[in-house]
C-alpha cells in the first residue's frame, strides 16, 4: 500500500472545536476521525498529522488524542508505525462463514477488483491427511493447486487446494487464474458444493507465506482449513488458506435454541 505524506483533507479546516459535556473528549476525536474514514476523506495510505499537531487541531491533550488513535488502531482502521507515523489501513474484508462460494464472484459482488496468481498446478500422490479428508486411498492421484489471491492488486490470502484427479480429469487444462474453480466444478463436471467444514486458528506467518503476502515474518494471520462437500455429501475439495490478519475478518450467524458458538483453543466451526 502506497504511503501518502500530504496532509489529508479533514485537517485543512484549521481546527475542530470539542465540546464540554456528557460526551468524552477522546470519543469526539475518535468520532471525527471515524466519520472522515467512512466518508472517504481519509483514504488507505494517508498519513495522519503527528500527535502534537493533532492536539493543536482538536485543542485537547496528548492523552485524549492517543486514546482516540488507540481505539481506531484496535478496530484496524489505523496502523501506528514506530518512527514513521500513523496511517490509514485498508478496511478488513468481512467473509461470512455461512456462505460457500467463489472468492472471485464474492469480491466482485462487493465492487472490488480480485485477481489470482497461480503458483503451482500439478498432480501429486495424496498425503495421508489429504487422503483422509477426501476419503481417498493414501497415495491416490490428486491435483495440487496453489494460488495467491489479491484484491486491488494487494495480496489477501494464499491457498492450497487438493482435489481428486480421477474425479476431475483435465481440470488443470483450464485457466485457473481467471476461471472460478467452483463454476468449473459445477458446469464442467456437474458437481455442486452444498456445505463445508472449516477450522480457523491464529498463526504467526512463516517466512515464505510472509513474503508472498507482503508481510513481515511473524505477523499474525489466520489459517483456514476447509473441506467442501457435494450434493451427495461426498468430500470434493480440501483447501488450506493462510489469510492476512490485518485484511480479513470472519463472522457467523447462529440460529435456534441449540445454536452455540464456543471460542476455545482449536475450536472447530462447522458451516452448513
Kindly report which listed range (9-23, 35-49, 122-136) carries the lowest average pLDDT score: 9-23
Q: What is the pLDDT of residue 242?
A: 96
**Residue 244: pLDDT band by 50, 70, 90 thresholds?**
very high
Whether the per-residue pLDDT at 261 is higher than 70: the answer is no
Q: What is the pLDDT of residue 263?
A: 47
Angle at 234 between CA 233 and CA 239, to 5 degrees: 110
Chain CA centroid to CA 89, Å: 13
Beta pairing, strands 93-96 & 248-251: parallel
Torsion angle of the four alpha carbons 28, 31, 35, 36, in this order, in degrees rounded to the nearest 10: 70
Q: What is the pLDDT of residue 144?
A: 98
Q: What is the pLDDT of residue 265?
A: 46
pLDDT in tens, 103-117: 888 778 777 788 999
pTM for the complete prediction? 0.69
Whether the per-residue pLDDT at 224 is higher than 50: the answer is yes
Written as nine digits, the cell of 259 is: 445454536
Q: What is the pLDDT of residue 51?
A: 93
pLDDT in tens, 46-100: 999 999 999 999 999 999 999 999 999 888 889 888 888 999 987 766 665 556 7
Q: What is the pLDDT of residue 201?
A: 92
Q: How far is CA 169 from CA 118, 163, 166, in A?
A: 19, 10, 6
The domains located in the chain, with CATH, are: 9-88 (1.10.10.10), 93-271 (3.40.1410.10)
What is d(CA 101, CA 110) in angstroms, rounded to the nearest whole number? 14
Q: What average pLDDT does range 179-188 have in this prediction?
A: 93
Written as nine digits, the cell of 152 is: 486491488
Q: What is the pLDDT of residue 75?
A: 82
Amino acid at each position: 500500500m502506497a504511503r501518502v505524506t500530504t496532509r489529508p483533507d479533514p485537517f485543512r479546516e484549521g481546527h475542530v472545536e470539542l465540546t464540554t459535556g456528557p460526551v468524552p473528549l477522546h470519543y469526539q476525536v475518535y468520532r471525527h476521525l471515524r466519520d472522515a474514514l467512512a466518508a472517504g476523506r481519509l483514504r488507505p495510505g494517508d498519513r495522519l498529522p503527528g500527535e502534537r499537531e493533532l492536539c493543536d487541531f482538536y485543542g485537547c491533550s496528548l492523552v485524549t488524542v492517543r486514546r482516540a488513535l488507540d481505539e481506531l488502531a484496535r478496530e484496524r482502521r489505523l496502523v501506528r508505525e514506530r518512527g514513521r507515523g500513523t496511517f490509514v489501513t485498508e478496511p478488513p474484508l468481512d467473509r461470512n462463514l455461512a456462505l460457500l462460494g467463489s472468492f472471485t464472484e464474492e469480491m466482485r459482488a462487493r465492487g472490488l477488483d480480485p485477481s489470482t496468481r497461480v503458483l503451482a498446478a500439478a498432480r501429486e500422490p495424496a498425503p495421508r491427511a489429504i487422503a483422509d479428508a477426501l476419503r481417498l486411498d493414501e497415495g491416490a492421484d490428486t491435483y495440487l493447486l496453489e494460488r495467491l489471491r489479491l484484491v486491488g492488486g494487494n495480496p489477501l490470502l494464499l491457498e492450497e487446494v487438493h482435489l481428486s484427479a480421477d474425479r476431475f480429469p483435465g481440470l488443470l487444462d483450464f485457466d485457473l487464474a481467471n476461471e472460478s474453480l467452483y463454476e468449473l466444478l459445477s458446469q464442467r463436471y456437474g458437481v455442486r458444493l452444498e456445505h463445508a467444514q472449516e477450522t480457523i486458528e491464529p498463526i504467526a506467518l512463516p517466512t515464505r507465506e510472509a513474503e508472498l503476502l507482503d508481510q513481515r515474518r511473524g505477523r499474525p494471520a489466520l489459517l483456514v482449513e476447509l473441506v467442501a462437500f457435494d450434493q451427495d455429501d461426498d468430500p470434493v475439495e480440501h483447501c488450506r488458506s493462510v489469510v492476512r490478519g490485518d485484511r480479513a475478518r470472519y463472522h457467523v450467524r447462529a440460529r435456534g435454541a441449540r445454536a452455540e458458538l464456543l471460542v476455545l483453543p482449536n475450536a472447530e466451526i462447522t458451516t452448513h
